[in-house]
Amino acid sequence: MKSVNRTSARFRHAVTIILFASASIWVSSTGRTQEPLEGPEQPIPYSHKLHAGKMNLECKKCHPNPDPGEKMTIPATAVCMECHAVIKTDSPAIQKLASFAESNRDIRWVRIYEIPSFVRFSHRAHLEAESTCADCHGPVKERVRLHREADISMKGCMDCHMAKSASTDCTFCHENMN
Ligand code: HEC
Ligand code: HEC
Ligand code: HEC
Ligand code: HEC
Ligand code: HEC
């Protein structure tokens, strides 16, 4: 009888430890899902959540869509230095940013959304047709680090074109195909 009790006490003790351990794993993993860092690590830990979310900077401050309007462009370090020449200059990340700016080097940001060159695509045409950044790039303002969470595969393009009665002819997006 006594040894059975001791065994079950040990068993209960073990169960308690397992429950406690899995509870703390659960807590730390849910803590992480609030700030998903699924995307690639970037050369400078730039955060859209801070700059476009909390500080509410407009997308076009950094992504201006110059003529002919196909591209939104990635900002030059000079845009960052408008603020970071004086803001947070004690931060190692900002010192790295400043050294790129001083030597006139572009930062090699890891690209997130890219389509092959045989596909015709214009940002301006879509913005004029009232598509929003979030339609094709997800909730960027909530992201510390971007990852490819919206679908810009051929199927992603087709689904919206069908929903909005835009053309799905092959030659609409691929000039040299019929
Ligand atoms: C309109 C002003 C402004 C612009 C433009 C700007 N930032 Fe910032 N940035 C800030 C402010 C304010 C903070 C928060 C500073 C703090 O935590 O006290 C910040 C924080 C940061 C941080 C975090 C630094 C740290 O160690 O905490 C990084 C990295 C950063 N910015 C990178 C960039 C990059 C890269 C660009 C250009 C693409 C940029 N910023 C453009 C104002 C700006
Ligand atoms: C202060 C400058 C700044 C502002 C404001 C800003 N961005 Fe960015 N954006 C960047 C930088 C720097 C990168 C490259 C690093 C990265 O991917 O996080 C980038 C990358 C992106 C990319 C990925 C491009 C690719 O294919 O690699 C998208 C999409 C994007 N931004 C959308 C937005 C949207 C939408 C807004 C407004 C809600 C916005 N950005 C506001 C600086 C900015
Ligand atoms: C209809 C879908 C769609 C909409 C709407 C859209 N994008 Fe894009 N975005 C794309 C695609 C597709 C690419 C890849 C383009 C390529 O590789 O040439 C891209 C690429 C980008 C890039 C990378 C640099 C570049 O110029 O290619 C940035 C930055 C960007 N988008 C920001 C934005 C912002 C900011 C908005 C809102 C003002 C926006 N996008 C609206 C589909 C979209
Ligand atoms: C959120 C919805 C949406 C998505 C996603 C989308 N499109 Fe469109 N697209 C439209 C609408 C709406 C039009 C305007 C149709 C019109 O004016 O008749 C359009 C027009 C176009 C045009 C013709 C405009 C021009 O002259 O450049 C092309 C080409 C095109 N889309 C390609 C693409 C490609 C490639 C993708 C995927 C990478 C894509 N679209 C994703 C909604 C979308
Ligand atoms: C609304 C725009 C759009 C239309 C319409 C469209 N495509 Fe595409 N297509 C794309 C995009 C975007 C890609 C690139 C996908 C990627 O690599 O991410 C692509 C890629 C392809 C590829 C390369 C292989 C692959 O799967 O990546 C082929 C082949 C192709 N398309 C054939 C066609 C044919 C055939 C049609 C007509 C039935 C068609 N496409 C209509 C947008 C379109």
The Å distance, Cα 73 to ligand 2 centre, comes to: 9
Least confident of 30-34, 87-91, 122-126: 30-34
Looking at ligand 3, which residue's alpha carbon is closest to its atom 2?
Answer: 136
Q: With beta carbons less than 8 A apart as the criterion, state whether 102 and 108 touch.
A: no
Percent of the chain residues past pLDDT 90, beyond the cut: 75
173, 176, 178: residue to mutate for ligand 5 pocket, most atoms within 8 A of CB: 173
Region 145-167 average pLDDT: 97
User: Pseudo-torsion of CA 11, 15, 17, 19, nearest 10°?
Assistant: 180
The Å distance, Cα 154 to ligand 5 centre, comes to: 5
pLDDT at residue 38, rounded to an integer: 83
**Which residues are within 8 A (CB) of 34 and not within 5 positions of it... i.e. 6 or more apart?**
none
The Å distance, Cα 70 to ligand 5 centre, comes to: 18
The Å distance, Cα 2 to ligand 2 centre, comes to: 67
The C-alpha atoms of residue 85 and residue 95 are separated, in whole angstroms, by: 10
Q: With beta carbons less than 8 A apart as the criterion, state whether 112 and 146 touch.
A: yes
Shortest-distance ligand to the CA of residue 125: 4
Q: State CA 161 to chain mean position distance.
A: 24
Backbone φ, ψ for residue 140 (5° rounding): -55, -40
pLDDT averaged over every residue in the chain: 86
pLDDT > 70? residue 3: no
pLDDT > 50? residue 163: yes
Query: Which pLDDT band holds residue 13 (cuts at 50, 70, 90)?
Result: low
**85/9: higher pLDDT:** 85
> What pLDDT digit, counting tens, does each position of 57-107 carry?
999 999 999 999 999 999 999 999 999 999 999 999 999 999 999 999 999
Shortest-distance ligand to the CA of residue 70: 3
Ligand 1 in reach of 87 Cβ (< 6 A) = yes
Task: Give residue 147's identity as a one-letter amino acid code.
Answer: H
pLDDT at residue 31, rounded to an integer: 42
Ligand 3 pocket by Cβ (under 6 Å): 59, 63, 71-74, 113-115, 121, 123, 126-127, 131-133, 135-137, 152
The C-alpha atoms of residue 171 and residue 82 are separated, in whole angstroms, by: 43
